[in-house]
Structure 1
Amino acid sequence: MYLKSLELHGFKSFPERTVLHFSGGATVIVGPNGSGKSNITDAMRWVLGELSTKNIRGSKMEDVIFAGADDMKPMSFAEVSVTFDDSAEPRTLQSPYEEVTVTRRYYRSGDSEYFINRRKCRLKDIFELFMNTGIGREGYSIVGQGRIAEIISRKSEDRRGIFEESAGIARFRYRKIESEKKLAETEANMERVADIEAELAARVGPLEKEAAKARKYLELYAEKKKVDISLWLYEAARLKEAIRKSTDDTALSAHELEMAEDSLKVTSSLIERLYEQSRDNKENSRRNRDSISDVSKRMNAAESEVKLLERESQHAGVELATEEQLAGAAETSREQESERLTQLKTRAGEIDGEIAAAEKRYAEHTERLAELDRSIKARDAELEKSLGEQKDAENRLTDLRVRLNVLENSIQNQKKRSETIGSDLEKYEAEIAECNRICKEAEDTAKSYREEAGKIADRLSESAERIAAIRRESGGFENEARELQADIASLESRIAAMTKMVEHFDGYNNSVRYVMNEAKAGRLGGIRGPLSSLISVEKTYIPAIETSLGGALQNIVTDDEGSAKAAIASLKRSGTGRATFYPITTVRAQERGREYDGVDRARGFLGWGDDLTDSAPEYRTIVKSLLGRLAVFDTLDNASDAARARGWRIRAVTLDGQQINAGGSFTGGTTKRDSGMLSRSAEIDRMKRERGEAENKLAAVRDKIREAGEKIDAIGKENGGEEERMRLMNVLAGTEEKTYSDADGRRKTLLELTEGMKKDAAGLDESSARSEEEIGRLKLSVEETERKIGEIRAEREETGAQRGQDELEAAEIGERANEERIRLAELNRDREAVTESIRETGERGAEQESAAENHRKKAEELRARIEELAGQRKEREDEAARLREEIGGLDGRQKDLDAAVDEIDTRLAQLRKTEQEQISKKDLTFVAHSKNEARLNSLKESEQKAHAALWDDYELTWATAVRFSEENDCPAVADGERSKTIALQTELKGKLRSLGHVNVDAVDEYNEVKTRYETIRTQLSDLRESRADLENVIRGIERDMKTMFLDAFGKINTYFGEVFRELFGGGHAEVILTDPENALESGIEINAAPPGKTVKNLNLLSGGEQAFIAIALLFALIKVNPSPFCIFDEIEAALDEVNVSRVGRYVKNVSKDMQIIMISHRRGTMDIADTLYGVTMQKSGVSKVFTLGAGDDREKYLK
């Protein structure tokens, strides 16, 4: 068997489908660090079943999926396929196929899929396929990056895996583990079965007694049932006859009541007309009396005004004499106030002169104080300024002294730095020369690689453009495929959830779920299902139908009444609750009555409930019984209009579920329906259709993606490996250019460093000279600053003395100014008092003058008023005479109106007496009719209760009770035998009570438990035999494993020593069991000593020596049980060039008999390659693979 190919798609840094083909010999995969070449090793481990993300260099399994790049979206899955050719004999794999392809696919959702030859399988199947081949999770055929040293650093117990794989006992250990699991399961089953056997044994005896008691109970119960049904049929017949008679009586009394109501309506109508006439006459009489009263009031008012005007004229004459006297007195007072005002104005002039003199003196004092205040502030400013100058000078002095000290220290440091620069320059110049040599060699080599790559690129340019166009198109298809996959996954999740709700009857009552589960289990027959699952309604009408049916949606349809009775009996036994059943054979539909005539022509009518509901023909009667008399309207207003027109005797519902009930009650608002029971199946069908459409689209898109891949593969084949060779040249050129870049970068850094150091040296000399000059200048500045500080201190003392003199003078003048201010305030108060007296005197004189003028005007007004009052009195006397004549005419008309009113009232009194007699007659008729109706309702209620009692006790209707009586020969009850039959019924009830609590299921339970008991005993015996067989198998496996392991371990030890000496050129190496007596569980120690060394602990060896020992042990394992192929990922990374060459030569020899695939970047390993693959990462995060076969071309490019 050999490894034929490895295909990656969406795995880590390989988003595009990448295929590596392998042939015999040694294959080497090269590429710069970070190019993704080790992802190929991870892909091989992953596809063979690796479950540890740590072993494939990840933190979580989702990390294996391509995460996206600058211009590429993340992928939704990762897929790796590996193909083996197992056509050569003897076969390595336990498979009937000559070519075996193993595929693993992982989605971001966390789902994994495994395939063998494109057929789905389990991960366990893949493990079993590769057992004892050296391939797989515990195999030694794949050694990942950095894992070679773990063979040495592991604990002795942890090394057993690769030794067992080499010994070929991994399959036996797997069989042993499986057998031990089966043994543990068998023992657990035995324990459970033994517990069940003991439990059943304890139940058989008591159940036998309960079964006998139950049989007796059932016999008495059957006899009592016959008696009860006979009595019920007798009472039901009596009730039916009484209801018939009562119905006739009620109809007769209703007719009499209707006639009495008609007579009363005629009399009431006549009374109403006469009452209207009487009311009109009385209204006219009232209006006439109101007119008489109004005219009388106006006449009286006119006479009163005449008298009032006479009195007002007399009063005005008296007021005229008074006003003339007051005008004379006011003129005398005005003359006295004028003389007082002249005296006050003279005193005010004297006070104003004294105020002017005082204000002048106060202004002089205030001005001098202001001058002194300005002088004091100016001297304060001078003192503050000089203080700031003094502090600045002192700070400058401190700063100058610090700078002087710093410069002196700097000169000493510059001398030391100059000496250091001289020695460093010599060392850097030698390193620059070495960098120049490396750059020249790398530049020449890279140039030859680039020239060859350019020639190949010209040939591939056109093909690259075609491939890019196809890939862009394919990328769009992949995005579309990912979106479709997400849509399909979402739909499948929603379909599963909705289907689960339907299957589990979510939203239904416990009793309904119980009955359906019992029917599913086969314990109940004839159950068709809840009504909601048997009907379908268009989406538009679902709210209306759901609202109208309400809880009836959960009612269960059965084949017949027997099925319904069996289900009810089961509910009673389980105590699960109550449910309603619709037996197909018993449910009858009522036809729509006359009250529904014309409803279908009403505005907004959409249809009858049963017509808008689809179902199988056998359920139409049930649907019609529930919805046949339900009218569906578009709006509540239209439904209300239709119901009102028919006296609120119909049922109606609107599209949004607002309902009008027969009798006029409304039900509406917002409510939660029965979990969308009617819409679940329709929703599932809709989502399945959408899923089918999405799957068809996805298949078409995948075909387009596959076609695009095939086109790209065809173009790749046409290129004939040119692209791979070009990429190899670019990789090799890139490696040399990186060497050139690193050396050139180092050279430039050193040149810049040396140039800077030279400048620094020259600058240090100049800086020292400048520092000496600066020190001289700083010393002069220190002396000048100290002199200036002394001058500032002297000026501050003189300014302070002058400021003190100004403060003394200001205090003296301030005292004199305060005295003048007090005198000025006293004079102002006197002036204000005189001014106030002048104002008051002037106001009083003006008031007296104004009062005299007012009195003169008032007298004139009174004279004019007296003349006006005389004219008004004449007008009112004339009006009173005219109103007396008008009152005489109104009194005559009032007498005529009163006579008409009296005549109509007499006729009304006679009619009201007749009406009262008719009301009394109607009331008597109504009472008789009400009694008849009450009796009829009571009889019907008794009949309903009797039917309900029969159903509650025996789950029988009238029809089924009659049929039961006929089939079971129940004795008919005659009129004279009723008491005798009741006595028999009482006797049977007493016998049933005497039995006490009875488990009626005990008979069936006893038979069932007894059968189970016998079965369990047989199972327990079989399990004991199975345990003994498994224990024998495990002992046999352990015996064979120990023999095979010890035999292989001896060979491994021998080959380990041989390979070690061949690789190291001498030395000693062996492997030892830590517990030879327990070979199958023992740890394994490794002892190795390179030539010329004595080693007690392998951890004391260098990393390279440890890796070399691990490589030797690895090749010894392969020699004992050769693997079809081996993949080594940088196992020689820790070795020096000499040891790399040794490993390379050994691998070259081994590759003659098996496939070797090495991932490396060491030139010694590349030299042994029969096939060379290159891995690059031209775009960030995206790896590309190319190949270069063996031959002269490769040798030329590796020089």
Structure 2
Amino acid sequence: SYAGRQEVGPFHKSFTSVVGPNGSGKSNVIDALLFVFGYRASKMRQAKLSGLIHSSHGLESLDSCTVQVHFHEIYDTSGPNEYEVVPNSQLMISRQAFRNNTSKYFINNDASNYTEVTVLLKERGIDLDHKRFLILQGEVESISQMKPKALNEHEDGLLEYLEDIIGTSKYKVPIEEASNQVEKLDDERSEKLNRVKIVEKEKQSLEGEKAKAEAFLRDENILTTKKSLFCQRQLLECKNNIDIATEAVNEWKEKLNDEQRKHAHIIEETKKLQDNVDETSQEYNVIKEETEKIRKQLEKYEKEDIGLQEKKKHATNKQKKLIKTLEKDRASLSATKTSIKYHEEDLVKRERELGQLEKLLQNQEAGLEKIRQSLKGKTEVYSAQIEEKQKELAPWTEKINAKQSNIDVLRAECEIIEEKTRSIQSSLEQAENEIITIEETRNSKKIDIEAAMALKEKLADEVKQIERKLKNNIALHEVYQNNLKDARQKASEADIQLKQAESRGVVLKSLLKLKENGRIKGLHDRLGNLGVIDDRYDIAISTACSALDNIVVDTVDDAQACIEFLRKNNLGRATFVVLSQLASMNMGKIDTPENVPRLFDLIKPKEPRFAQAFFNVLRNTLVARNLEHANRIAFGRQRWRVVTLDGKLIDVSGTMTGGGTKVMKGGMSSKFVSDITTTMVAELIRAQNRCEEKWRELQIERQELENELERKKAEIPKVDLDLSKLKMDIDSNKKRMSDAQKRVIELRQRNKLNPEDSRKMQQLQSAISKLTQELENLKTHPALIEQEIKDLQQKILDVGGGKLRSQKAKVDEIKEQIDSHNDRITTLQVSKTKAEKDIIKLQNSIEKSENEAEELSLEIKQLEEEMQEKTLESREIRQKARQSEDLMEKRREELEKIQRELDSKTEIINKIRTAEVEIKNRLEDNERHLTENQLRYDHWLSLYGKLSLHQINGDEDYEPEGIELQTYTDDELWAINKENLKKEIDELEVLVEYRQHEEEYRSRARDLEEITASRDAAKKKYNELRKQRLEEFMQGFTLISQKLKEMYQIITMGGNAELELVDSLDPFSEGILFSVMPPKKSWKNISNLSGGEKTLSSLALVFALHHFKPTPLYVMDEIDAALDFRNVSIVANYIKERTKNAQFIIISLRNNMFELADRLVGIYKTNNMTKSISISPENFITILGH
């Protein structure tokens, strides 16, 4: 409402009252302050900032509005109006709003922003967060009506209101963070504690085993000696195996080199043949592609040639018709010219004869007149009457002749039009006959097209059938190729197994001969041959069970007999499994991790009694898919021995062996060796040959089908070419038919007479009819006169006698001849005129036809030249096509010949490679055996080097005395039962496991201690923050509560008010209650108080908070509205006397309030523009006093 520049104030340092009538703009004083303090337009009762710009009559176009608020700090002195300004403390904050709803901030006229302004005001003590400096109209009692505690984080309760003023709200975020940290560390500690308990439980579960192990460890040095013995035995076996494998590797290498040298020339020939096949095949494909391109080019030329032929044919037919028309027109022109000549001659003749007749008529009429003169006296009367009658008849005769002449001319014109129609009718008949001919030709071509389409469909069906057969052939070829590969593999494997059975090691072969001779009945076979396992587990069983090469016997005596035989004959060494000495063990099914199979359960023993032997060497070894799977199973809560399908072995101790590029396999077959016989091998070879024969038949059939397919596909383009020709003929016929039909339609329209001729014909016929009627009417009247003349002439003739009659007859005859000549001359003249018009038309038609004929001749000549050019080009392309096809056929024959040679060589190579594969397999097996034994030798040598005697843990008194690791002889080592020794060593592994669990327990316990310490530290910090918050809050709360009681008692003169905690143990849980006891009344809830009581309660709280934390500025809008005059005076006096340390600006209409103010700011409005005036009542009273 303020227009122009208005200055409100200055305000008093303590108590200023703003007064003025309603609607004058008092509240705009507060709005101006809020505007500068950064409030939105909605807080100033406007929708947009532009609504704040003054817009009274005559000032509607103002662009902006600006408010400046001036501050300075003072040193207060004793006088009511006296103070000293602190040097350099002046501060001016302003804000400018624009029509586009934007605004700018300024601090001391320097551009600033909202953030800087609000931060500066907060630093100077103005509470912009809770607006304690501002109490608007009707809001004063809302302070006392706050809830004890906010329901959510977006609201404020009395607790939050006081906590912000006291300053303890700063602890909220650190306390919450500390609480979250404590909770997080509690979770981590619980996890660590659970782990410690689990490890402790595992450790305790091993206590019994530990005690047993410690008891056994008193003999550990002896067992270390056993380990030494075991390592020496392993080293001996490895060395022996290395020697055997080295010899075998050298032998198989030599065989492989001999085989490769022997067949090197065949392989080289096959390679050259393959290169030749590839090269010829590439050449064939290139020629084939080139031939296809030439064919397509030839087809293109042939199509173009057909198009040219059709164009020539069409042009020729058109030329023939044009020539025929031209000849006809020329003949018509000649005939017309002849007829004109005839008409002219006849006309001349007639006119000459007419002249002669007219002269003769004059002579005869003179003779007749002479006779009449001689009879004048007798006939004068009659003659006079005749003359009068003739004079009377003459006009009528002249009219009749004129009419007749007009009728003759009109009839001649009708004849011309009719003659034109007859000519068109003839042309129409010719055009209709031509349509019939074209239709017959088209039907014939359609039949040819249907035949060609049927042939094409037949070829397409044949191509599909051949492609289907070829597809089936390829599928069968692939099946038989795979079958052949499988048959070759099976035959090769069977042959290898048979040869292995026949070429067993010297040791096994010699011992089995003893069995056959009946010398050692308890000897069975190699352990690996006494059971079968699926090929899938071949690598796993070969890796996990090194004892598969051990020889199984019934008793110790059988084993001793075998050893003795080998020693006497110096055949080498062997390891024996004695069935009678095997301990009875539970081989039943067990529960395994993730239900993986046990290797032992996958073996099918040849006899049930051999199962114990397999279990003795395998125990509970499990099979895993891969190493990851194996690790998961092996290192669970229970340790397992696990082998993977690809040959990696994890022992119970955790050591891992196997793997690498070469794996162990062949230790056990999927069939018993005795099942493979020479007959079975022969049958497998025959099956292989049958497969190979069928495979070759399919290959030959495939070649034939491919050739047939190529021929059929080559025929289809030819049929397409014929179809193309026929379709072009059809298209040409369609064009001819279209032209003929158009001509027929045109001729029919012309035959029907064009509108002009038709209209002219109708006009002529109408005119002829009219003239004829007029002629008949004219003839009616002169007929009587002519009859009278005839009667008079008859009377004259009667008077004149025969001479007069004779002369009269001559004159009449001559007159008739003259009339006849006149009629003929008229007809000749009309015909001549018509003929002259026809000549002009015929000449134009001939000229047009000659021009068209000339154009057609040029077109035909051009087409012939193009056809000749195309013929020459197509002849060259056809020649190229023949040459290319001949070359392609030649290359195909060469390719087939070379392919047959290659197939023959490939068959030989396959047999060679089968033999080489067998040798390579043997070589690889021995190389792998050699490598594995070398690795095992190094492994056991390393372990042997680490063995030493040591003091038993927990027994300080025990010391090994005089015990040294013994070195054994080879015979002593061969006589040892390795499996029993290994079993004794494995039992000691439980101590290692216990120590691992113990170490894990200690580690987990350390982790638990660390996390517990962290948790305790975080908890301590959390509690300290909570304690500090509580202490500071309670200190401020107590002071505010005391001041509230004091303020309320002063304001109400005897009442009581209290702030009390809902939960005395935790003020922050439930919040704060504001209870009031007005004078002479009981304690009441705020909600049950009257409006004035609520206002007094709220003001008491505001003054108490001001005492606790003063705010430099308060702006209050009609806070006394709900108070009676007594309470207004009390509040006004309190503000006057007790609030010297703040600047109160109070808008009031109550004289009890503003009369006590130190300064009055009057607000008034004139011409819709607000103005203000400031006065000091004290000075005003002084002036009045004077």
TM-score under structure 1 length normalisation: 0.30
Higher Cα radius of gyration: 2
TM-score normalised per structure 2: 0.30
